[in-house]
Amino acid sequence: MRVEIVVPPKVAAGVPVPIAIRIGNTAARPIELHLQGRTVVFDLIVSRGDTVMWRRLEGESVTAILQLRTLAPGEVLELKDTWQQNDGAGRPVGPGEYRVTGVVPTDAAPLRAGPVTLMIGD
Amino acid sequence: MRQRTVLFVSLVAGTVLFSACSDTTQPTPPSDERIGFDPVQQPDDPVALVRGIPGFGGFFFDREGVPTVYLRDVSARAQVERALGPWLAAQGLRAAALRVRRADYDWASLERWQGRATEQALAMRGAVWVDADEARNRVTIAVERGTPVAQLRSAVARLGVPSAAVLVEEVEPVRLAATLQQRVRPVVGSLQINFPGFLCTLGFNATRNGQRSFITNSHCTNTQGGSEGTPYWQPTSTVAPTQIGTEVADPAYTTGGVGCPSGRRCRRSDSARARYASGTTSTLGRIARTSGANNGSITITANFNITAEGSALVGQTVHKIGRTTGWTRGSVTGTCVNTNLSGSNITQLCQTWVSAGVGAGDSGSPVFRRQGTGSNVTLVGILWGGSGSTLYVFSPISNIETELGALTTF
């Protein structure tokens, strides 16, 4: 199985940033994933240095149901969202280098992707 | 030192233990070889140091922790002290601390008779285990209550095992320790349940208008809000294909009610009721109990018994047991909190928040307060979600019964 996070390497300031976590079955047989939520729950964390600037699930209440999801050989599950370049308080972030991490809760260890670097230009 | 190899052959009425041990003193007759002794010795095995001493009958530590040896000839003590001295010193003990008891039987004979007795005794219904008992210098056979002992003794005696060398005692049968994610009958609270495509936790058993039922979350049905006859299995349809129940009550989420924010749909509980199938056994008032709070175990070791329903206040300690994170304990941090469900237009009104562990699959977990340190508990609600892995939210039992109707829970 391959878990990766896809982020454009560089965006202009203020432009919404599309972020995707891709979970791919690289095996020759189906695999069953145990994922949280009726709609798959996933978190995205955007950091600058050691500071978390934005967290997708910050303060959110999600159900604790477990979804059984089968991925066929070669199939990819993509979880997407868009970061508006705001911090947790809704304020625009400035230009600079950021790191983006993805976390997908399961009933065991979470699936993790990244971090990858995102440059926000002037 | 003895080695035991355990083979489980039955899940239902009891479990038979098969014990293998070593016998390296002298050639054994064919009947013993058939049993398949394996010469197993551990590097730090004191028995291996003394089994060659004539008349050695067993070595153990008594209740006071005193190293004790059985000898047919107590004058062989000096030999034993020489042989065991270094090992005892490694344990921080002096050889002079050794206590000697007069043995009726030598250890090699006990092991040989254990082997013979195993073949006969453990083949009998009700037998639990057979032990070369180093603490009593006997072969001990344990049986379930009600097992015909005379028959057992006769069978063992016919194998040449002296009757006086055999102790028979009654014990509880050994059972596999099931987990919350395995098949358990009768069905009780906290067990894993499965409906098409999803896993949740069964909250608690309840009777409604004489109908034997269980309660779980509304979002643990095919459609959250509205009853559509969701089928349930425990633990899964694959492991146990016989359906255990069917959803029969799951009120709709409504708009415009008192306290419901504009544009959102609301209920006061995330709960639904399912009717048990006639062939599925269940126990009212019982919740599966795992080995301890906040230890991550999902192994069922006992039961909790619901003896009351109640509420939980900020600062009080509550417990939940769910199929993923097991038994977690923590403090109530907020009561009557109107809570939006992320990614939906649903608002759950007047919920209770707790600072304690939660994980995917714990939806539906019963939440309760303990009455002292025993097994009696007060049911306070069922868990439906959380924020992260250390904060969860539950629907209070009063809200559940307001929406599902009066329930008999114990």
Q: What is the pLDDT of residues B226-244, one digit of tens each?
A: 999 999 999 999 999 999 9
Phi, psi dihedrals of residue B292, rounded to the nearest 5°: 180, 160
pLDDT band at B175 (very low <50, low <70, confident <90, very high): low
Q: What is the mean pLDDT of chain B?
A: 89
Looking at the DSSP assignment, which residues form a beta bridge with residue A120? A11, A96
pLDDT band at B32 (very low <50, low <70, confident <90, very high): very low
CA distance B180 to chain A (A): 13
Q: What angle do CA B352, B357, B358 make, to 5 degrees?
A: 75
Q: What is the pLDDT of residue B355?
A: 98
**Residue predicted with more confidence, B91 or A90:** A90
**How far is the C-alpha of B386 from the C-alpha of A61, rounded, in Å?**
5
Cα–Cα distance for residue pair B211/B215, rounded to 1 Å? 12
Q: Which of A60, A61, A68 is the closest to B199 by Cβ?
A: A68
Cβ pairs A/B, distance under 8 A: 83
B195, B152, B145: which is closest to B171 by C-alpha? B145
| pLDDT of B308 | 98
Q: What is the pLDDT of residue B19?
A: 37
Q: Is the pLDDT of residue A17 over 50?
A: yes
Contacts with B383 from chain A: Cβ below 8 Å = 64
Establish if A51 touches chain B: CB-CB under 8 angstroms.
no
Residue B195: strand pairing partners: B198
Smallest Cα distance from B206 to chain A, Å: 21
pTM assigned to the model = 0.72
Q: What is the mean pLDDT of residues B42-70?
A: 87
The first and second tokens of residue B402, run together, are 């307001």
pLDDT in the model for residue B123 = 85
Question: Which of B197, B224, B385 is the closest to A67 by Cβ?
Answer: B197
pLDDT at B15 over 80: no
Q: Minimal CA–CA distance to B113: which of B38, B35, B170?
A: B35
The predicted pLDDT at position B173 comes to 64
CB-CB neighbors (< 8 A) of A106 in chain B: 360
Q: Which of B339, B342, B363 sits opposite A64 (nearest CB)?
A: B363
Q: In the prediction, which pLDDT does B121 show?
A: 85
Task: With a threshold of 0.90, tell me whether the complex ipTM lies above it.
Answer: yes
Strands B138-143 and B166-170 come out as parallel
CA distance B118 to A26: 50
| CA separation for the pair A59, A88 (Å, rounded) | 10
Residue range B203-221: mean pLDDT, rounded? 98
The backbone torsions φ and ψ at residue B203, rounded to the nearest 5 degrees and listed phi first, read -75, -70
On the 0-12 / 13-18 / 19+ scale of CB atoms within 10 A, B355 is middle
pLDDT tier for residue B119 given thresholds of 50, 70 and 90:
confident
Query: Nearest CA of chain B to the CA of A121: how many Å?
Result: 31
* Beta-carbon contacts of residue B207 (< 8 Å; ≥ 6 apart): B213, B284, B407, B408
Instruction: Give the pLDDT confidence score for residue B305 in this predicted structure.
Output: 97
